[in-house]
Amino acid sequence: MAQLLIRNVPEETVAFFKARAQRNGNSLEQEIRNLLDANRTLTAEEKMAFSRKIRAQTRRNDPPLSLDEIREGLE
């Protein structure tokens, strides 16, 4: 893995992320890695893979309801 050095970070910012890391049960280093990962842009392939995963998890075998069945459920 690569290393990243960030200079001149305000003390208040470091204190904020240290407290956040502690609340989340992480080291400061892990908290910053999580922040970087959460804010990176997904590639088109990653978006498609994520979409397929969600679709597979939510797919149902039930046929769609007819209009009459929907109306019946509203009564």
Residue 70 maps to a domain: no
Residue 74 maps to a domain: no
**CA separation for the pair 56, 35 (Å, rounded):** 28
- Name the pLDDT band for 28 (thresholds 50, 70, 90): very high
- With CA atoms as reference, report the closest residue to 4 among 43, 45, 40: 40
Number of domains in the chain: 1
Residue 16 maps to a domain: yes
Which pTM does this prediction carry?
Answer: 0.56
Taking residues 36-65, report their average pLDDT.
Answer: 86
Count of positions (residues) in the chain: 75
- Name the pLDDT band for 63 (thresholds 50, 70, 90): confident
- Name the pLDDT band for 16 (thresholds 50, 70, 90): very high
Residue 67 maps to a domain: no
* Residue 26, domain extent: 11-59
Distances (CA, A) of 53 to 1, 36, 61: 27, 23, 16
Please determine, for residue 59, whether its predicted confidence score (pLDDT) is greater than 80: no
Mean pLDDT over all residues of the chain? 90
